């Protein structure tokens, strides 16, 4: 029998609470999710831009020459550390900045942190669009990275805190949805600008200004989360906002729960040190490993380098950009499955099903490339089409599981006292792993050739096992009830909680 529900309601209230899904919550979530659009646009734009001749000729003449050398090995055409640095530098800056962003989130609030994200992003766009040389280009990327670090820290937390528990999953995935829309728009823009010579790439990079403007202006309209207001002693304002976003006057229980969680949080002078406590380990481990796994599905190989990868297979320039549009559309549409499914079928079901799907498609892609793509041939057309289809199957699995849930779960499993610091670890782990993939993939492709796909298959096996045995289900649980109702009851993780430790270990 389900346990009687204690209506502890911070972070969205109980699934049975009278809180409605109000217009404010929906509008605020969508505006905040524009942070995802900024992030997604950046992910999608770099691959296309780095495959454009005008861009290569201006900033990476060595790669340009190599690309057009007839005898160059298929797998090694784009193997250039500086070219990879163009893509990866953004994530390096994002790692560093998400550390500062976690403090800003706590001290200045989630809303202000989002505004700072938009400002950094805007400066980055200007530098990139006007870039005259490589340093200017890279500095621009670093500013964009700062924007991503601030945005990705604040947005998922913001949404998880304002959403009612029973809609939290779906609303939070709006963030991922807009990431995928951003990637798709970027793919489309690249498809058009690749034929605008010689400055098409400037239009591509400049397009990132739009989501930054949306987020910057939109964030003037949104409310701060009650938890963040109360955490900063703005209790009356917190209560007022809580009533407004819940659409009911009766918010006493949720309000007192936030107060209580805030009191506990305030006693914690060193949230980072607190995270090192034994009882924080389960959330810290699961939150960060999910992000590692998310990246080691190999998704960003497709997102960053799809056009390059398709060209490696001998598909022509325009067609390879078009294929990137196709995978981008699948990515976007499949995210809808997560939005509607996550609060119904639960997190674990989606993760496990998708692991199987991704495993099969990555494995087959590797096998086809191993047998059909050698150093200097072009892959036969039929096989090229099958590879594009397999990549679509892979992307769709990722898009309704490890993509959105990699962000959702870490934002909902930490108690208030370690929420921003714990989430910082998750965000920065994502950025570190994204950096590694962006920086290393083209070199790995050159050395490991098709074997790279089996490398990702091995990771997918691990993550499937992790989801089956170690990841608890968090569907419908109010975020401040997680410790009591999820972690302390889990067959493995409960041994980390002091009251049970002694008898369990
Ligand atoms: C990941 C990105 C990835 C994107 C693809 C996000 O959740 O964090 O690294 O490129 O999904 O849609």
Instruction: Take atom 3 of ligand 1 and give the residue whose Cα is closest.
Output: 300
- Would you state the structure tokens that stand for residue 194, as one six-digit string? 């690749």
Residue 377: pLDDT over 80 = no
Q: What Cα–Cα distance (Å) separates residue 84 from each residue in 88, 91, 431, 447?
A: 6, 12, 15, 15
CA distance readout (Å), 327 to 17, 174, 299, 395, 459: 40, 19, 11, 7, 22
Nearest Cα neighbor of 398 from 475, 321, 296, 312 is 296
3-class SS letters over 33-62: HHHHHHHHHHHHHHHHHHCCHHHHHHHCHH
Q: What's the rounded mean pLDDT across residues 225-254? A: 93
Start-to-end Cα distance in the chain: 27
Residue, of 224 and 442, whose pLDDT is higher: 224
Whether 55 shows a pLDDT value over 80: the answer reads yes
Considering only CA atoms, which residue is closest to atom 11 of ligand 1? 403
- Residue to substitute in 42, 148, 300, 332 for testing ligand 1 pocket (most ligand atoms within 8 angstroms of CB): 300
Question: What pLDDT digit, counting tens, does each position of 264-315 carry?
Answer: 888 877 878 889 999 999 999 999 999 999 999 999 888 877 777 777 777 7
Choose the residue to mutate in 156, 294, 298, 409 for probing ligand 1, maximizing ligand atoms within 8 Å of C-beta.
294
pLDDT given for residue 71 in this prediction: 67
Are residues 55 and 250 in contact, defined by beta-carbon separation less than 8 angstroms?
no
Indicate if the pLDDT at residue 4 is higher than 60. no
Distance CA 334, CA 356 (A): 16
pLDDT band at 18 (very low <50, low <70, confident <90, very high): low
Give phi and psi for 277, each to the nearest 5: -65, 155
Task: Please write the tens of the pLDDT for every residue from 59-70.
Answer: 999 888 887 876
pLDDT in tens, 169-220: 899 899 999 999 999 999 999 989 999 999 999 999 999 999 999 999 999 9
Q: How far apart are CA 438 and CA 431, in angstroms?
A: 10
CA 179 / ligand 1 centre spacing (Å):
7
> Do 343 and 212 contact (CB within 8 A), yes or no?
no
Q: How confident is the model at residue 22 (pLDDT cuts 50, 70, 90)?
A: very high
* Residue 292 · residue 46 · CB < 8 Å: no
Question: Minimal CA–CA distance to 473: which of 288, 347, 341?
Answer: 347
Average pLDDT over residues 251-258: 88
- What's the pLDDT at 8? 31
Tokens 């401040």 correspond to 480
For residue 434, which atom of ligand 1 is closest to its CA? Answer: 9
Task: Measure 302 CA to ligand 1 centroid, in angstroms.
Answer: 10
Helix ranges (DSSP H) in 194-251 = 200-206, 209-221, 226-231, 235-246
Backbone angles phi, psi at 395, to 5 degrees: -60, -40
CB atoms within 10 A of CB 327: 23
Mean pLDDT rounded to a whole number for the chain: 89
Ligand 1 pocket, Cβ-based, cut-off 6 angstroms = 43, 176, 179-180, 183, 294, 299-300, 303, 331, 403, 406-407, 430, 434
**Mutate which of 145, 179, 324, 334 for ligand 1 pocket (most atoms within 8 A of beta carbon):** 179
Closest atom of ligand 1 relative to the 406 alpha carbon: 7
For helices 381-399 and 402-412, the axis angle rounded to 10 degrees is 20
Q: What are 137-170's pLDDT values in tens digits? A: 999 999 999 999 999 999 999 998 999 878 888 9
State the CB neighbour count (10 A cutoff) for residue 81: 11
User: How far is Cα 323 from Cα 192, in angstroms, rounded to an integer?
Assistant: 13
- Which residues, in sequence order, are CB contacts of 391 under 8 Å at separation 6+? 302, 306, 327, 361, 365
- What's the confidence (pLDDT) of residue 107? 94
Helices (H), 279-380: 281-295, 299-312, 317-341, 347-372
Query: Separation of 151 CA from ligand 1 center, angstroms?
Result: 14
Percent of the chain with pLDDT over 90: 63
Handedness of CA 306, 310, 316, 319 (dihedral sign): negative
pLDDT at 342: 93
Q: How far apart are alpha carbons 315 and 254 in whole angstroms? A: 57
């Amino acid at each position: 029998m389900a346990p009687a529900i204690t209506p502890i309601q911070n972070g969205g209230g109980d699934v049975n609470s009278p809180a409605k899904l109000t217009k404010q919550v929906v509008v605020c979530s969508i505006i905040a999710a524009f942070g995802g659009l900024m992030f997604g646009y950046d992910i999608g734009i770099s691959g296309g831009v780095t495959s454009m001749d005008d861009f290569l000729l201006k900033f990476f003449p060595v790669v340009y020459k190599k690309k057009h050398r007839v005898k160059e090995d298929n797998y090694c055409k784009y193997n250039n550390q500086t070219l990879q640095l163009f893509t990866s530098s953004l994530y390096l800056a994002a790692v560093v900045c998400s550390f500062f962003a976690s403090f800003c989130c706590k001290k200045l609030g989630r809303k202000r942190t989002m505004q700072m994200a938009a400002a950094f992003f805007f400066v980055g766009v200007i530098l990139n669009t006007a870039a005259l040389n490589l340093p200017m280009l890279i500095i621009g990327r670093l500013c964009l990275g700062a924007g991503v670090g601030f945005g990705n820290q604040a947005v998922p937390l913001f949404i998880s805190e304002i959403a009612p528990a029973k809609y939290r999953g779906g609303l939070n995935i709006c963030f991922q949805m807009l990431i995928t829309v951003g990637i798709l728009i970027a793919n489309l823009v690249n498809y058009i600008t690749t034929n605008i010579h010689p400055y098409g790439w400037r239009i591509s990079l400049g397009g990132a200004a739009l989501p930054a403007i949306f987020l910057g202006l939109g964030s003037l309209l949104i409310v701060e989360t009650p938890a963040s207001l109360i955490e900063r002693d703005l209790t009356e304002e917190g209560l007022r906002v809580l009533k407004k976003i819940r659409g009911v006057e009766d918010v006493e229980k949720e309000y007192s729960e936030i107060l209580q969680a805030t009191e506990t949080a305030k006693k914690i002078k060193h949230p980072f040190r607190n995270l090192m406590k034994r009882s924080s380990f389960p959330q810290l481990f699961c939150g960060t490993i999910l992000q590692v796994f998310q990246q080691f599905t190999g998704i960003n190989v497709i997102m960053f380098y799809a056009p390059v990868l398709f060209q490696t297979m001998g598909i022509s320039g325009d067609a390879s950009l078009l294929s990137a549009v196709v995978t981008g559309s699948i990515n976007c549409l499949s995210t809808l499955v997560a939005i509607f499914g996550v609060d119904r079928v639960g997190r674990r079901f989606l993760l496990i099903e998708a692991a199987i799907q991704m495993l099969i498609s990555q494995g087959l892609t590797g096998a086809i490339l191993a047998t059909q793509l050698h150093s200097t041939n072009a892959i036969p057309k039929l096989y090229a089409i099958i590879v594009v289809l397999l990549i679509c199957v892979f992307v769709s699995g990722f898009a309704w599981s490890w993509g959105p849930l990699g962000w959702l779960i870490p934002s909902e499993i930490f108690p208030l006292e370690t929420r921003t610091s714990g989430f910082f670890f998750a965000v920065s782990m994502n950025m570190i792993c994204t950096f590694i993939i962006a920086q290393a993939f083209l070199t790995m492709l050159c050395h490991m050739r098709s074997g790279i796909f089996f490398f990702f298959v091995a990771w997918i096996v691990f993550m499937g096992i992790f989801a089956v045995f170690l990841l608890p289900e968090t569907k419908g649980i109010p975020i401040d009830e997680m410790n009591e109702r999820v972690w302390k009851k889990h067959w493995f993780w409960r041994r980390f909680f002091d009251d049970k430790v002694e008898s369990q270990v």
